[in-house]
Structure 1
Amino acid sequence: MISSITAAVLLAAASAMAPAANPPPAPAVDATAHPAAPSTESRIEAGRRMYLEGVLPSGEMITARVRNDVTVGGDFAICGTCHRRSGLGSSEGSQVIPAIAGDRLFNPLRLPTRNLPLAPQQRPAYNMETLKRAIRSGVDANGELLDPLMPRYALDDDQIELLIDYLKTVSVEISPGVDERDIHFATIIAGPVAPEIRKALVDVMQVYVEQKNSETRHESKRAQDAPWHKEWLFSPYRKWVMHVWELTGAPETWPAQLERYYRQQPVFAVLSGVANGPWQPVHRFCEQTELPCLFPTTDLPVIAEQDFYPIYLSKGMALEGQLVNRHRLDDGQVNRPLVQVYRADDQRAKAAAEAIRQERGVRTVVWHPGEGQPGTEFWRQVLDEAEDGHLTLWLSQADVDTLWPVLEQNGGPDRIYLSSSLYGDNTDGVPPSLRDRLLFIHTNELPSRLSRLLLRSTGWLRVKGIYAPEARQVQANAYFALKVAGDALTHIRGYFFRDYFIERIEHTVDSVPYTSVYPRISLAPGQRFAAKGGYIAKLSPGPNPALVAVTEWITP
């Protein structure tokens, strides 16, 4: 039997669904009276901007207080500055910044211990109210004051909830390229790279991975059968799988090729690589895909410090241009005019020239393709312009050597900068009478010291039977990228999040014992170039001249 209340409800529902004979006109809707609720995506984006950029939904910048009365803004008030992009925290000395990503705030925080079965609880789980209190007043879930350096934010409920909505999405699911058994990496060969260079790079990547997966301690078995109290130690183990992505044709076709490779098998990161041409298409793909792209060998990196995922060893040719400026400034010569020469069809030379083109007193002369090598008349015009100043030549040895007879006959500037990358190491063609005028821009370790610096990689390469002297830099850079990646994976201990992987690299690069072909490397949060300086060098006197530094390692 149907109750009277149920019958009334059914009758009302039936009446509501029945069409009316003369339906009343629909009431006018005031769109401003009840605005549509923001979508989940827009709320998360608003929270992301608050967390990573310090921008409130109103467009105003976030401010906060530290030590009760000091107002801070900018990077000091941005959550991601300390808790990092991954939300998994960081450390500096004895200062530990806790993880706040995903559901970590809403679970108890426990400390590692040998006392079984559970670790002691450091704090209980936050709920929405205690978390709001922590953000505004600096009081944690235990009711205790947080560190005085933790900013206190005057945010309303909606602003805090936007922030928390975003945090719940951060570092929740492991990144693509990792499964229960394997972690996938790629190395990229972009453009028409010489066969011997390609082989030298691929040999390093494949042999290193084969050695790493040799399982002399049966890591796979331990990962599968680890006792529960040691699962945290053994379960993160994954076999490495290395893929070679080769990009052919025009650079504008490379993004589509990269997308095809990535669809076939996503990778956790791109390690090393080499390009004959611009790295820009690879850079853009990695940034858009949120794919770490670590330490490729390229003279043409993308200089975009605001980007997160590509990290380079050096600024390449642009750094060489900056070093010329820095050396002239340090010598008090920056007010003297500078004439620089490069070929219009040489992208590397153009990148170096562009780095100093806008400086005061700099004149740029472009030698156009199709005109053969520079001739006497061309050099005389260049020397006339540079008579009271300096000359920088972004040219190959074949081009520059046509200058020497003209210099010997006509004098010319007392300072001529040459790019070691473009001119090369063979200086046999330089007349002894001109050596004192030449300054070489050198962004690697000097040749006389390089073998000692590369003892670690060269020894390993020789033992494995894959050492290629003609590709020494490419192999050394690849070995460096592999070692750094392996060290970072050890530190992240199963937190297979790409952002966290990069943050660990930023944190540990300064302490690695191997620096590839660069005598000094370092990274800090937000920095994307590990080697930041170079030498200015001259040729030594005597029958067998060698490059000797006339400056310390200088940083523009």
Structure 2
Amino acid sequence: MVHNRVVATLQGAMAGVILAVTPLVAFAGGDAELGRKLYWEGIGADGMPVHGKTQGDVPVSGAQFSCVNCHRPSGFGTSEGGNYVPPIIGPVLYEKRTPNRNRMFKELYQEVQPPGFWARVRQPRIRPAYDQPLLARALKEGLDAAGRPLDPIMPRYELSKDDVSNLDAFLKTLSAEISQGVGETEIHLATIIGPDADPDEKKAILDTMNLFTTWMNKDTEGDTSKPTFSPRYRSEFIKAYRYWNLHVWELEGPPETWRAQLEAKYAEQPVFATVGGLVPGPWDEIGKFCDDKRLPCILPNTELPTPGEGRYGYSVFFNRGLPLEAEVLAMYLADSETVPNQIVQIRAAGPSGERPANALSDAVAMMMENTDVQTVTYEDADSLRAALAKHADAEVLVVWPDDPEAAVDALADINPPSKMIVLPSATKDEAAAGLSKDLIDRTLVVWPYDKPDSYHPRKYRIRAWMHTRRLNVTHPRLQLQTYYALTMMQYGLLHAINDFHRDYLMEIIEHEAENELNPGTHPELGLGPGQRFASKGAFIAKLAPEERVGYRVISDWIVP
């Protein structure tokens, strides 16, 4: 009885201390949608940007220092530039904190960071669970739930009670449940194949993906069959292991029918993400599906990614495709010793002609105000030949075809005397094999990939991996890009441990993309927060059939 009275007295005293430190404030139930707006845009309940100070006295406001910039869309935080940003998802924030080495494994052991960073991450910083008053104190005064000061980089905000209630309601929903497509023992992934995919390219990609998946599953089987084989390392992550189940989603018909097909396939078996794939046509309908489902679509092989910058979209691409090639060409011409007075571009009627032609016209208008651009659209092979014949003497003749082989055949037949002929990268092989020497000497291609003689150590390791497993490497670039996409998925899941949240996967891929994983297809591959194009530029190359690769780079790497 005496013991019980002592405990009760101590509990009452502690409650009094907490009440004295944290004044009681009446918090109403919040609006999670308004909380999302505050988290993403820094907009308060009154519709105005919120204000605060960071590093003691540096004023910030609105989206300038909104929560998402540091704590990320998933709420799992990040590590960057020697700063550690902890997770603030509901299941972490509203429970007492105890050390969790697994969740911080990447930061603790797999990153190069300064000593101060590691010292901070290794601090246990045990604390009680947050509630609305403690959350308000953290946001306004910079004190955590245990009363310790937060990092000075964390802003101290001027927030109303409604702001705190709204943010509290939103944080309780943030990454609260694991994403669809994940079971107790397996994770479902898909790859998307467009209806116009070349059969040989499709086979090369799927062979690579199936081999990689088999290898991953054998590795998983080996580790999980011996759960105590590695004390205090892999054995601690046994619950995070999942067998990969790869689904091939083959689309049929025109793009406007793809959405319904994707919905049906997803309804039959939800997947955690899509990876790789081959879609010659526009990605738009697939991209909308991915965004609406909040489904990561990782590094498909396509020349027509979703237009725009794709900030925080759910599709991640190698580059911007044909519009990028058009902008690089404009920069190359604008920086030439003799800027052309006239450019004639002959384009196919579909998106593969329209989008790069529009991009070239816009770029030339910005960079070469005295250059005239004439755009001619063709519908079929006959109208292409007619357009080439009519504009054969153009100073610069650019062709944006929908069928590379047909375009090269037409050029070979017409043999236009234009001083400079420019073709997109997809025509390189056909042009090197099908054009006369005279045409080859006057033809350039835009090349958004790396030089053939560049050195990437990982490329040799990947090729060795492929050869030792008897993978037939018939399309090296496509297969290397596919391997890279699979590696991004592998590393993303490795670092996520058992936090199977799609937004978190996207953030890990952003973080990992620039590490030493480049398979040698591009000079550099990297992503920043919210970025969705890993490679940003291209070369200009001359056709060179005498070279093993059929071309020779003649420019620096050009980034629009």
User: Could you tell me the TM-score, scaled by structure 1's length?
Assistant: 0.82
Alignment correspondent of 1:519: 523
Task: Pick closer, same or farther for the CA change 1:225–1:380 going to 2, 3 Å.
Answer: closer
**Cα pair 1:534 1:553 within 8 Å, conserved:** yes
Q: Tell me, what secondary structure is at the counterpart of 1:110?
A: coil
Post-superposition shift, 1:203?
A: 1.7
Query: Residues 532, 425 of structure 1: CA spacing in aligned structure 2 closer, same or farther, 3 A cutoff?
Result: farther
Are 2:398 and 1:382 aligned?
Answer: no
Q: Distance in 1 between matches of 2:144 and 2:72?
A: 20
Distance 1:327 1:154 in 2: 49
Deviation at 1:295, TM superposition (A): 0.5
Deviations 1:127-186 (A, max 9, x none): 322221110121222323222221111111111110111001011111111111111101
Tell me what 2:190 maps to: 186
- Aligned mate of 1:500, from 499, 504, 516: 504
8 A Cα contact 2:432 2:440, kept in partner: no
Residue of structure 1 aligned with 2:374, choices 364, 387, 408: 364
Query: Relative to 1, partners in 2 of residues 1:451 and 1:434: Cα closer, same or farther, differing over 3 Å?
Result: farther
Distance 1:58 1:474 in 2: 51
Deviation at residue 207 of structure 1 after TM alignment: 1.8
Aligned pairs for 1:210-359 (under 5 A) are 210-215=214-219, 218-221=222-225, 232-304=236-308, 305-331=310-336, 336-345=341-350, 347-358=351-362, 359=364
Counterpart secondary structure, 2:93: helix
Task: State how far apart, in whole Å, the 2-side matches of 1:324 and 1:334 are.
Answer: 12
Change (3 A) 1:122 1:362: farther
Pairing partner for 2:161 from 157, 161, 175: 157
Between the aligned partners of 1:266 and 1:257, the Cα distance in structure 2 is 13
Match of residue 59 from structure 2: 71
1:528 counterpart SS class:
coil
2:171 aligned residue: 167
> In 1, distance between residues paired with 2:226 and 2:490?
19
Structure 1 position 84 matched with structure 2 position 65 = no
Matched, 1:461 2:466: yes
3-state SS, counterpart of residue 240 of structure 2: coil
Instruction: State the alpha-carbon separation in 2 of the partners of residues 545 and 258 from structure 1.
Output: 37
Question: Structure 1 residues 307, 507: closer, same or farther in 2, change over 3 A?
Answer: closer
| Distance in structure 1 (CA, Å) of the matches to 2:139 and 2:352 | 49
CA distance in 2, matches of 1:446, 1:44: 50
2-structure distance, mates of 1:453, 1:369? 43
Give the counterpart letter for 2:472 in structure 1.
Y
Farther off after superposition, 178-187 or 511-520? 511-520
Residue 427 of structure 1 aligns with which residue?
Answer: 432
Deviation at 1:336, TM superposition (A): 3.5
- Deviation for aligned residue 1:343: 2.2
Q: Is the 1:191–1:251 contact (alpha carbons within 8 Å) kept by the matching residues of 2?
A: no
Aligned-partner Cα distance in 2 for 1:437–1:232:
62
Letter in 1 for 2:553: A
Matches within 5 A, 1:537-556: 537-539=541-543, 546-556=550-560
1:135–1:321 distance in 2 versus 1, CA, 3 Å? same
Query: Given that residues 223 and 237 in structure 1 are in contact (C-alpha distance below 8 angstroms), is that contact kept between their aligned partners in structure 2?
Result: no
- CA–CA separation in structure 2 for the residues paired with 1:374 and 1:113: 63
CA distance in 1, matches of 2:51, 2:337: 42
* Helix, strand or coil at the partner of 2:218: coil
CA deviation vs aligned residue, 1:461-491 (integer Å, no higher than 9, x gap): 333333241x333322221111111011111
1:417 equivalent among 413, 422, 435: 422
- Name whichever of 460-469 and 234-243 sits farther off: 460-469
Unaligned runs of 5+ in 2: 1-27, 103-122, 366-370
Point out the structure with max Rg over C-alpha: 1
Q: Deviations over 1:171-226 (max 9, x none)?
A: 11111111111111011112132333332222222221111111476333456999
Q: Which amino acid aligns with 2:204?
A: A
Instruction: Give the counterpart letter for 1:369 in structure 2.
Output: E
- After superposition, the Cα gap between the structure-2 partners of 1:540 and 1:255, relative to the gap in structure 1 and judged at 3 Å, is closer
Identify the range of structure 1 (416-425 vs 329-338) with the bigger mean alpha-carbon deviation: 329-338
**For structure 1, which runs of at least 5 residues remain unmatched after alignment?**
1-37
* Alignment correspondent of 2:397: 391
Matched letter for residue 349 of structure 1 = G
Give distance in 2, aligned partners of 1:433 and 1:218: 59
Helix, strand or coil at the partner of 1:465: coil
Q: How many residues align?
A: 505
Which residue type is aligned with residue 103 of structure 1? P
1:143 aligns with 2:147: yes
Asked if 1 retains the 8 angstrom alpha-carbon contact of 2:462 and 2:519, the reply is no
The alpha carbon displacement at 1:432 in A equals: 4.0
CA distance 1:380–1:146, shift in 2 (3 Å)? same
Question: Do the aligned residues in 2 keep the contact of 1:226 with 1:235 (CA within 8 Å)?
Answer: no
- The superposition leaves residues 341-385 of structure 1 with CA deviations (integer Å, 9 ceiling, x where unpaired) of 11224x32322112122342452332422451644x74454245x
Shift of 1:535: 0.7
Per-residue deviation, 1:519: 2.5
Aligned amino acid, residue 375 of structure 2: V
Q: Aligned to 1:171, what secondary structure does the other structure show?
A: coil
The amino acid that maps onto 2:407 is: D
Q: 1:98 aligns with which of 67, 86, 101?
A: 86
CA contact (8 A) 1:440 1:536 kept: yes
Cα-to-partner distance string for 1:236-263 (whole Å, 9 max, x where unaligned):
1111111111111222221111111111
Task: Find the residue that maps to 1:366 and give its secondary structure.
Answer: strand
Opposite residue 87 of structure 1, the aligned amino acid is: G
Instruction: Tell me the SS of whatever aligns to 2:157.
Output: coil
> Cα RMSD between the aligned structures?
3.2
Provide the identity percentage: 34
Deviates more, 1:226-235 or 1:514-523: 226-235
Per the alignment, residue 131 of structure 1 pairs with 135
Inter-partner Cα distance in structure 1 for 2:480 and 2:257: 29
Q: Read off the aligned partner of 2:285 and give its amino acid letter.
A: P
Aligned equivalents of 2:185, 2:549: Cα separation in 1: 54
Distance in 1 (alpha carbons) for counterparts of 2:353 and 2:461: 32
Q: 1:287: Cα distance to partner?
A: 0.7
Letter in 2 for 1:439: L
**Residues 10-29 of structure 1 mapped to structure 2, 5 A cutoff:** none
